[in-house]
Structure 1
Amino acid sequence: MSIVTCVNKNVPFLASEGFLQAGGVAHGFSTREGGVSEGTYATLNLGFCRGDDREKVLENYRRFTAAIGADYEGLVLSNQVHGDTVRTVTAADKGKGIHSKGDYEADGLITDIPGLCLTVFGADCLPILFYDPVRRVIAAVHAGWRGTANGIAGRAVEKMVEVYGSKPGDILAAIGPGISKCCFETDEDVPNALTGALGASALKCIELQESGKFHVDLKGLNVLRLEKMGLERDHIAVSEACTMCEHERFWSHRYTQGVRGSQAAMVQLLG
């Protein structure tokens, strides 16, 4: 299963081949392209807290949801805090974070209700989408290194199983564009946290440099986590795109030193 590039209504986005083949779901990972924002935020900024004009961001949301076939009115956004909370989303949450004030903090969202468009953000951190086409359940998580160490992706799978009766073998996962091993250079605190969480299996995703720094493969670590949760390896799609290497195509927090817009990843069950 792979991540493919699509273009619709002049808006490019990335999508999971497996999700597309299974059908019944709208989804996509955004890029920097296809919006109306200007200057620092040109052109498709989907972050409200970056300093961009709110009306332009709203128009960007309209364009992106139209491109992926999702419902703009059904958006549910998350206030992300690099934690491990996965929130079960109900009809009462429709529009939170965009059409009304968000009243919760969560780095993961999960639901089985058609029409709710779960949305997470990133600009180096990984967006991960989940879809169980058998039980008709979806989830979206934001996984930076802290979220990866805390097991946010695994917690989403746990909730799909516990709350909605999903079987891990039925779940499809898509890890979107984020910073890759080539550019994610860290001090030893990051590898220590990750090996503490995942054990010796994490070492193959961590490489010591001559400088004494480490290069860390967050995508590979999340694949390991999902396999430990029982997902089939061929059910896990991983984007090869590195947001820092491809900073002209994607927002990168590291490259811009925080002066940037945000990507979003969205998934919605179709009725």
Structure 2
Amino acid sequence: MNITEHNANGVVYLAADGFQAAGGVVHGFSTRLGGVSEGIYASMNLGVNRGDDPERVRENFRRFCAAIGAEREGLVFSSQVHGDGVRTVTSADLGKGLEQTVDYEADALITDVPGAVLTVFSADCLPILLYDPVRRAVGAVHAGWRGTALGIVEKAVERMVDCYGCDRLDLLAAIGPGISKCCFETHEDVPNAMTEALGACALPFIEVLPTGKFHVDLKGLNARRLEGAGLKPEHIARSPDCTACRPDQYWSHRVTHGERGSQAAMIALRRGGGTA
């Protein structure tokens, strides 16, 4: 399974070909290309709390949702806190974020409600989308290094199994663009958190630098966690794009020192389960 780039009326986004082949779902990972925001937010900023003009942000959402085929009125956000909370989204949550106040904290959203557009935001952290085409359930996960150490993506999988009866062997996962090992230079707190959580299994994803700092592969660690949760390796796609390497295409918190917009990753079950 691969993640490929698409362009719909100037809106550049990424999608997992395995999700598209399975049908019954709309999804996408945004880039910073194809919106109407200006200045440091140019141009596809989907962050609602970054200081951008709210009307421009709303137009960006309209364009991105149209590009991937999602219903804007079905958007569901969360207050992301770099934790391991998983929110089970119901029809009562539709509109929370863009139209209504978000009244919960969570770094992962799951649902089996058609038309609920699960949305997570990132600008170096990893956006991860989950899809079970058999039981018809989806998930969206925000995984920074803290969430990775806490096993947020595994907990989202467990909740999908518990709540919707998903079979792990049917689940598909797409790890979107985020900071890659080449640019994620850290002090010892990050590798220590990974080895405390995963033991020796974390070591292949940690490189000691001559400076005494470390490079950490968050994409590899989350793929490993997904495999540990029971997913088939061939059902896990990883975007090779590094947000810090590509400031022309992605928002990077590190590169901009926080003066930035945000990417969004969205996924929703199609109403009626159709492929068109």
TM-score when normalising by structure 2: 0.98
Q: Give the partner amino acid of 2:199.
A: G
For the residues of structure 2 that align with 1:133 and 1:83, how far apart are their CA atoms?
A: 27
Q: Could you list the per-position Cα deviations for residues 159-203 of structure 1 after superposition, in whole angstroms to 9, with x for gaps in the alignment?
A: 110000001000000000000000000000100001111110100
Q: Give the partner amino acid of 2:7.
A: V
Q: Could you list the per-position Cα deviations for residues 109-167 of structure 1 after superposition, in whole angstroms to 9, with x for gaps in the alignment?
A: 00000000000000000000000000000000000000000000000100110000001
- SS of residue matched to 1:113: coil
- SS of residue matched to 1:79: coil
Deviation of 1:10 after TM superposition, in Å, equals 1.8
Match in the other structure for 1:221: 221
Whether contact under 8 Å (2:10, 2:33) holds in the other structure is no
Deviation of 1:9 after TM superposition, in Å, equals 2.2
For the pair 1:84 / 2:84, whether they are aligned, the reply is yes
- SS of residue matched to 2:21: helix
Q: Which runs of 5+ in 2 are unaligned?
A: 272-276
Match in the other structure for 1:170: 170
- SS of residue matched to 2:193: helix
Q: Could you list the per-position Cα deviations for residues 188-246 of structure 1 after superposition, in whole angstroms to 9, with x for gaps in the alignment?
A: 01000011111101000000000000000000000110000100000000000000000
Match in the other structure for 1:260: 260
Deviation of 1:8 after TM superposition, in Å, equals 1.1
For the residues of structure 2 that align with 1:90 and 1:38, how far apart are their CA atoms?
A: 35
For the pair 1:183 / 2:166, whether they are aligned, the reply is no
Q: Give the partner amino acid of 1:139.
A: G
Match in the other structure for 1:40: 40
For the residues of structure 2 that align with 1:253 and 1:234, how far apart are their CA atoms?
A: 31
For the residues of structure 2 that align with 1:30 and 1:73, how far apart are their CA atoms?
A: 18
For the residues of structure 2 that align with 1:85 and 1:110, how far apart are their CA atoms?
A: 11
Deviation of 1:78 after TM superposition, in Å, equals 1.1
Q: Give the partner amino acid of 1:99.
A: E
Q: Could you list the per-position Cα deviations for residues 225-268 of structure 1 after superposition, in whole angstroms to 9, with x for gaps in the alignment?
A: 00001000000000000000001100000000000000000000
Match in the other structure for 1:58: 58
Instruction: Map 1:127-166 onto structure 2 (within 5 A).
Output: 127-166=127-166
- What RMSD in Å do the two structures reach over aligned CA positions? 0.4
Deviation of 1:7 after TM superposition, in Å, equals 1.0
For the residues of structure 2 that align with 1:138 and 1:52, how far apart are their CA atoms?
A: 30
Q: Which runs of 5+ in 1 are unaligned?
A: none
For the residues of structure 2 that align with 1:198 and 1:54, how far apart are their CA atoms?
A: 41
After TM superposition, what 4+ stretches of structure 1 lie above 6 angstroms from structure 2?
A: none
For the residues of structure 2 that align with 1:249 and 1:48, how far apart are their CA atoms?
A: 19
Q: Could you list the per-position Cα deviations for residues 93-123 of structure 1 after superposition, in whole angstroms to 9, with x for gaps in the alignment?
A: 0000110111011000000000000000000
Match in the other structure for 2:69: 69
For the residues of structure 1 that align with 2:9 and 2:72, how far apart are their CA atoms?
A: 15
Match in the other structure for 2:274: none
TM-score when normalising by structure 1: 0.99
